[in-house]
Amino acid sequence: MKIFYRMHKTYIGSILNSTLKESAIIAAIALIFAISFNLLRSSHIPLLGFSSANLIKQQQALIPEINIRDAYDLYLKKKVVFVDARDPLSFAEGHIAGALNIYPDEASLHAATLKTKLTSDSLVITYCDGPQCPLSKETAHTLLLRGIPMVKVLVNGWNLWLNAGYPVTKGKS
C-alpha cells in the first residue's frame, strides 16, 4: 500500500513538474515574442506607459452635449432627470427644480437609485456652473460607465438656466 502511495505521489509529482515546465516555456516564448513584435512594429505602444488621465479626457470629450432650449423642452415634457454635479452647498443655495445632487466622486454610489427613476425614453442631463466647469462631464462619465444609457451634458447649465428664468428651487435634495 505504501509503495503504491509512493508511486502515485511520484507520478503526480512528475506530471505537475512537466506541466509547470511546459507552461513556463510557453509563457516565456509568448512574452519574448510579444515584446519583440511590439518593438518592431511601427504602431508600437509603450510597455509601461498607460495614461488613464488622457483616456478619461478622451472619453469625456465624446459625451454628447445638449443646448438649453432642448433641455427645457424635455423638462416640460417630463422626459429628463437633471443631475446637479456641483458641491452640496451650491446645490442647497439653488438648483434646477427637481434636480438630484450627484457630485462626481459619489456618482457610482448613486447610479443604481438613479436608474430606478428613469423610464425607457427619459434622459439624464448633468450640469454645473461655468463653461469650463469639469464636474458635469465627470459625473456624466461615471454614470455612463455605471450603465445609465442616455446621459448628456448641459455646459454652463446652472448659469444658463438661471438667466433664462426657468424654474429653480432651494434646499437639499
Partner 1 sequence: MKLRNFPSPIAPVIAIFFRLFLSFLFFYAAFEKIADPQEFAVTIYNYQILPNFALNLLAVTLPWLEVFLAVCLFLGIYVRGASFLSSLLFLTFATALSINLVRGLDISCGCFGKSSESINWFYLVRDFTLFLMSLFVFFFNRGWRHFFSPSSASK
Binding site for partner 1 (CB under 8 A): 15, 18-27, 29-31, 33-35, 37-38, 45-52, 55, 111-112, 144-147
For cell 462631464, name the residue: 137
Angle, vertex CA 130, rays to CA 126 and CA 133, nearest 5:
65
| Nearer CB in complex with partner 1: 66/114 | 114
- Nearer to partner 1 (CB atom), residue 48 or residue 61: 48
Could you tell me the three cell numbers for 87? 458641491
Contact 104, 146 (CB under 8 A): no
DSSP string for residues in 138-153: HHHHHHHHTT-S-EEE
DSSP 3-state of 95: strand
Nearest approach in angstroms of CB 109 to partner 1 is: 11
Q: Is 90 helix (H, G, I), strand (E, B) or coil?
A: helix
Beta bridge partners of 81: 124
Q: How far is the CB of 79 from partner 1 (least distance, A)?
A: 21
For residues 5 and 50, which CB has a smaller minimum distance to partner 1 in the complex?
50
Min CB(26)–partner 1 separation in Å: 5
Nearer to partner 1, 94 or 146 (CB): 146
CB of 157 to partner 1, least distance (A): 24
